[in-house]
Structure 1
Amino acid sequence: MYKWPVFFIHFIILISMISCSNKKQVDLIVTGAKIYTVDDNFSTAESIAVKDGKIVAAGTHDTILSEFSGKEVIDAEGKYIYPGFNDAHCHFNGYATNLMQYADLRGTETQEEIYERLKQHHDKFGGDWILGRSWDQNDWPGKSFPDKTRLDELFPDIPVYLVRVDGHAGWCNSKTLEIAGVTADSKVSGGQVIIRNGEPTGILIDNAMGLVGEYIPEITSERQQKGLLEAQKNCFAVGLTSVTDAGLSKSTISLMEEMQNKGRLKMRINAMLNPTDENFETFVKTGPKQGDRLTVNTIKIYADGALGSRGALLLEDYFDDFGNSGLQIESQEYYDKICQLAYDNNFIVATHCIGDSANRLMLNTYAEFLKGKNDRRWRIEHAQIIHPDDFQKFAEYSVVPSIQATHCTSDMYWAGKRLGEWRLRGAYAYQTLLQQNGWLPNGTDFPVENIEPLYTFYASLFRTDHTGRPLGGWQLNEGLTRKQTLRSMTIWGAKASFEENKKGSLEPGKYADFIILDTDLMEASPEEVLNTKIESTWVNGEKVFNLK
């Protein structure tokens, strides 16, 4: 057999060593995928290289492997890679708290089902209070608000407090009303105690919920931390790597930061501030804060309540409740004060606005401070019902409409009954809102809705429920395209918090936050979108969830 000369073999080895030494060393290479970078051109790649938690390069399989040598090389086996999903409006800490101490009442179809879940929850967990979350009378026969009667029969000596799915109504028993001192004479600005036959029914709307809220035992720090870690685990499993938590206290933000610094909480969090003096002194007056995992640059306030509980502020009365046009939560003087504080300290204002009157109120208020085009990125949260005359104000004053697409497909069954057909033309109008500035952030508002971002994608695009009804979609002309939807869940969510240069797309220099899916969302049918599996989730180039 022919033998190669020894010197030639040594030459081949030397060339190979020189070739490898010329490659740049990285921590991770992921190849064999279709990668949607979500850059300005919406370009795709086959491979990415990651070093020190950031994207170094994205390109073809051959280019990446010829230029880089990775400590770890992952073959994605033809799967699909996207930037990590960014929920631009949710209640991450609220969801965490719910996991620890609230009975889950979502999806109940009768009041009796509620009572059964409460009994099971109390038998299992005990406690001095019975707490629950996510009931919705619109899912029950009759669709009327419940009252305290049956709660009093079942739990005469234990206070019961149940928060409606939208977080804008509370349902309690007589023991709770007694503890809180709520009577037929109780009055609250921006809220309502529902009265029947001269006494409270047990239903408290918007600010009236605060009459009871202060008496509910606070969650311990230990249980809150446990809840945050469980919430993080659930979010990673559905592909979320960033969240905007819409309204937090100083103590919660400090706890989150402490957990992040210890490496326990790896979720990137944009923490919106509750409008408290403590938050103003601690955060606002010291200027915006933007770290690797924690951003604090926004004040969250409320203009009105929710449509489902008829607290949304409308220009005209509710179609199914004449004489009621909803609730304005605070005074004009209050909104002016918050806006001035935010403007002076370079903070964003984010205002919950559901009804057309609430949206007009805050758009006009913002206009007094913003004057015209700007890059302040003040936000309207939900932007659910807009009078036709007011859409252009988003563009005129560069106001960001922050939407949650699953609200559309949750509310479509009964929204027309609340609003009448003429007002539906300006409701859930996501495409019209998008056209004002050319971008908008999208989220879920969990735990009001499910945490699943794939449901956001589905609702944004198809505007049907999960059975495919109504055929053709509800107000489909206001749906978003696939590219628009993916951008709204990634790069535009990052842009809303001034973080578009750090995350939201898989470009060199940005955090290596990405997800690997088994389905191409840019081509998938409605059924395929709903059945998509998150194969793995990565934050800073670290795998934080694996399906297998």
Structure 2
Amino acid sequence: MFDLRYRNSIRVFINAFLLLFILASCNSKKIEVDKIVSAAKIYTSNSNFDVAESMAIKDGKIIAIGSLDDIKSAYKSTEKIEHTGFIYPGFIDAHSHFYGYGLTLNRVDLRNTFSMNEVVLKTVEFSKTTSEFWVTGRGWDQTDWIEKSSPNNIMLNAYFPDRPVIIKRVDGHAAIANAKALELAGITPNTRVDGGEIEVIGGRLSGLITDNAMSLVDDVIPEPSLDSKIAALVKADKKCIAAGLTSVTDAGLDLNTILLIDSLQQSGDLKLRFYIMCNPTEENFAYFEKNGMISNPRLQVSSFKLYADGALGSRGARLKAPYCDQTSYSGVWVTNPTKIDSLIDRIDNLGFQVNTHCIGDSANKKVLEIYSKYLGGKNDRRWRIEHAQVVTPADRYYYSNFSIIPSVQPTHATSDMPWAEKRLCSNRLEGAYAYKSLLEQNDYLPLGTDFPVEDISPLKTYFAAVYRQNSKNKPLGGFLPNESLTSKQAILGMTYWAAKANFMENNIGSLEPGKIADYIILDTDIYTEKYMLTTQVKEVFIDGVSVKN
């Protein structure tokens, strides 16, 4: 009896040992990774737009992605995270002014003001908080004012007789400068400048200046200190990450700021990835002709930014026919077409991308013609038209025939909709904010915000692209709804397509094996939920590491 019990005990022990051995053996065949991440849905933005449940991450890169069972059966990790929420690739803003946005965080914010009086009083209150001699700000929009008066500097002169003030319109293409600022800039009623307007009424400067005329004032404002620049960049970095961005585009920087961003990335002070367009300065040309482009997983500098015209809101966009609400005026050439051609020739010889700001239908047509001369046909050079805001339908073929990328900002449509028809008349609206039609030209369309012109939020970009409504869910049915994008197209526009337009798609833009683990956790499935503007960004990961406080 004792023998039988002994033999049974031995048998149980042996079976248990064999089971442990088998389990250990199976587990030893699994690949060790840094972490296994899972969620209800993981939107990959890959070519099939697959939705997964889990992914394995090692050394900041995605090793595998698929079902939870498949990942668990093939990989092991001491860190297994089950997120309550929905995972999307880190959002990419394909067109913004990141550095400029950072600077505005330390200037008077004039957004959501509804009269010239409110603009001035807000400027006065801000001036009490800064020791800087110059008072600067941005964000007013006269189309939002209850009284549709023309902006002028009369009140600014009264409140600031001896202190220079310049406050820019929300789009950055117009400004109000007080008398002191105009005096320091040497601007008189007789001053003229190509590609800009200096308004004179009754022989007196009104203070309203546009486009290139603003540079006369900007040039006499002292440069921010290095510490101020760094503080602005770091603050903007944190704001972007909090909004769900992991990569941003800065549409036009000088060399010293480009190199500063590079150094701050290397020191770890900036977490975001950057695609930077160079301003067409001699300093930039000389540096990149000597050193070539910068291209690494954190920073891509391989393009130049040109300006063809101004903005529609300030009537600086260059139109084929006059403005409907100012019938003697067709806008400005910020850069003369002959000069644009010569700059493109230089950029082309450098092997860099050409990205040109074009708002009006005349500016778009002229630059498309110039591009076509250099590109010759279909190609993979990815030259871009930034904004492509008003494009005559008959001119769209340039995009497809010459592989030109329209880079658009959906919230421009919903911000401009109250007055766009007044500027363009109904007959020209067919070619305006035509995102679906532009997408059809090359089957991809990068989306951005143009912040600080628009709100920094990529969620508002998505909502405007899909539903063609503003954050107040207006208008009912959407603005020009036939040009809306699908949910899938909008997500791709803020992920893979944005990365592709930036020559960064081999590293980011989708969640696929071999790519960098940049992803975000949202508390709402924006792909299926229309009323998604209350969505919270729960976490943001760059290189697989959480970076959102």
State the TM-score, normalizing by the size of structure 1.
0.97
Matches within 5 A, 1:291-302: 291-302=296-307
User: How much identity, in percent, do the aligned residues show?
Assistant: 47
**Alpha-carbon distance in 1 for matches of 2:23, 2:346:** 63
The equivalent residue for 2:41 is 34
- Please show how residues 152-301 of structure 1 align to structure 2 within 5 Å: 152-301=157-306
In the other structure, the counterpart of 1:82 is: 88
Return the alpha-carbon distance in structure 1 between the equivalents of residues 523 and 335 of structure 2: 47
In structure 2, C-alpha distance between the alignment counterparts of 1:116 and 1:144, rounded to whole Å: 17
Instruction: Give the partner amino acid of 2:86.
Output: Y
Q: Which moved more, 1:114-123 or 1:274-283?
A: 114-123
Residues 529-540 of structure 1 mapped to structure 2, 5 A cutoff: 529-540=532-543
For the residue of structure 2 that corresponds to 1:367, the secondary structure is helix
TM-superposed CA distance for 1:26, in Å, is: 1.1
Q: Is the 8 A contact 2:255 2:283 kept in 1?
A: yes
> Which deviates more from structure 2 when the two are superposed, residues 403-412 or residues 380-389?
380-389
Mapped contact 1:494–1:500 kept (Cα < 8 A)? yes
Aligned to 1:31, the other structure's residue is in SS state strand
Give the match for residue 491 of structure 1: 496
Structure 1 residues 519 and 132: CA distance shift in structure 2, 3 A: same
Q: Which residue of 2 aligns with 1:25?
A: 32
Structure 2, unmatched stretches of 5+, are none
In structure 2, relative to structure 1, the CA distance for the partners of 1:349 and 1:285 (3 Å cut) is: farther
Alpha-carbon distance between aligned partners in 2 of 1:184 and 1:285, rounded to the nearest angstrom:
43
2:402 corresponds to:
397
For the residues of structure 2 that align with 1:127 and 1:339, how far apart are their CA atoms? 39
CA contact (8 A) 2:176 2:207 kept: yes
Q: Deviations over 1:122-142 (max 9, x none)?
A: 112232111111111111123
Query: Any idea what the Cα deviations from partners look like across 1:4-63, whole Å, max 9, x if unmatched?
Result: 744443333333332332211111211133011011111110001111111111011111
- SS in structure 1 opposite 2:246? strand
Deviations 1:293-340 (A, max 9, x none): 000011001000000000000000000001110001122231112211
SS of the residue aligned with 1:125? Answer: coil
- CA displacement at 1:143 relative to structure 2: 2.8
1:382 alignment partner in structure 2:
387
Structural mapping, 1:415-454, within 5 Å = 415-454=420-459
- Please identify, of 253-262 and 1-10, the stretch whose mean Cα deviation from structure 2 is larger: 1-10
Call closer, same or farther: CA 1:284–1:521 in 2, change over 3 Å: farther
Contact 1:287 1:347 in 2 (8 A): no
What residue identity is the alignment partner of 2:304? I
Asked if the contact 1:283–1:296 (Cα under 8 Å) also holds between the matched residues in 2, the reply is no
The one-character-per-residue Cα deviations of 1:261-299 (angstroms, maximum 9, x if unpaired) are 111211000010000111111124543321120000110
1:139 to 144, 155, 160: 144
CA distance in 2, matches of 1:120, 1:352: 35
CA distance in 2, matches of 1:144, 1:188: 25
Give the match for residue 529 of structure 2: 524
Tell me the alpha carbon deviations over residues 440-479 of structure 1, each in whole angstroms, 9 at most, x when there is no partner.
Answer: 1000000000000000000000011222221111110001
Q: Please list the CA deviations of residues 398-428 of structure 1 after superposition, one character each: whole Å capped at 9, or x if unmatched.
A: 1100000000000000000011110111100
Task: State how far apart, in whole Å, the 1-side matches of 2:140 and 2:81 are.
Answer: 44
**What's the counterpart of residue 545 of structure 1?**
548
SS of residue paired to 1:171: strand
Matched, 1:313 2:318: yes
1:327 is aligned to 2:332: yes
Paired residues, number: 542
How far did residue 388 of structure 1 move?
A: 2.1
User: Which is further off, 334-343 or 43-52?
Assistant: 334-343
- Any stretches of 5+ residues in structure 1 without a counterpart? none
Structure 1 Cα separation of the partners of residues 291 and 348 of structure 2: 13
Do the aligned residues in 2 keep the contact of 1:288 with 1:346 (CA within 8 Å)? no
Are the aligned partners of 1:393 and 1:399 in contact in 2 as well (CA < 8 Å)?
yes
**Contact 1:285/1:345 (8 A) holds in 2:** no
C-alpha RMSD of matched pairs (Å): 1.4
Tell whether the 8 Å contact from 1:35 to 1:44 is kept in structure 2 after alignment: yes
Query: Conserved in 2, the CA contact under 8 Å of 1:503 and 1:511?
Result: yes
2:30, 2:435 → 1: CA distance?
A: 47
1:60 and 2:67 correspond: yes
Structure whose CA Rg is larger = 2
Within 2, Cα distance between the matches of 1:134 and 1:179? 23
SS of 1:337's equivalent in the other structure is: helix
